[in-house]
Amino acid sequence: MGNTVQPSGATSDVATEFHVQGLELDWSCVTWDADFRHTKSGWSHHSFRGNGWNNINKDERKQYLKNAYRVLLTRARQGMVLVVPHGDIEDSTRSPQYYDGTFNYLKAIGFAEI
């Protein structure tokens, strides 16, 4: 976890859903990874093992992943920036197709691109 002091005196931290659970933050920035992707058939759940992504098949683990994102997305009180990476066509573990569906879904439901 990194910690930097901003010019205003505010503190900025990098944290997982475990670190932010129960917190109320003024602002947050959440990076959306390829583990929870939006596809044409709905949400797709994945875990990274070894050299690549594997489908999560157990309902309990799918719910856990969904809840992790829910926690991250409900901490900010004044505003939030979601970062969805572009991906990298030269890195099979970060294919743009892993991110494009989520990015397009978020735009379709009203998130503004900045």
| Domain chopping of the chain, boundaries | 3-108
CA dist., res. 14 & res. 34, Å (int): 19
Position of tokens 């797709």? 44
Residue-level pLDDT at 104: 97
Write out the DSSP string of 5-45: E-TTS-EEE---HHHHTT--EEEEEEE--TTEEEETTEEEE
Q: What is the pTM of this model?
A: 0.79
Rg (CA), the chain: 15
Note the pLDDT tens digit of each residue in 17-70: 656 667 778 888 899 999 999 999 999 999 999 999 999 999 999 999 999 999
Note the pLDDT tens digit of each residue in 5-16: 444 445 566 676
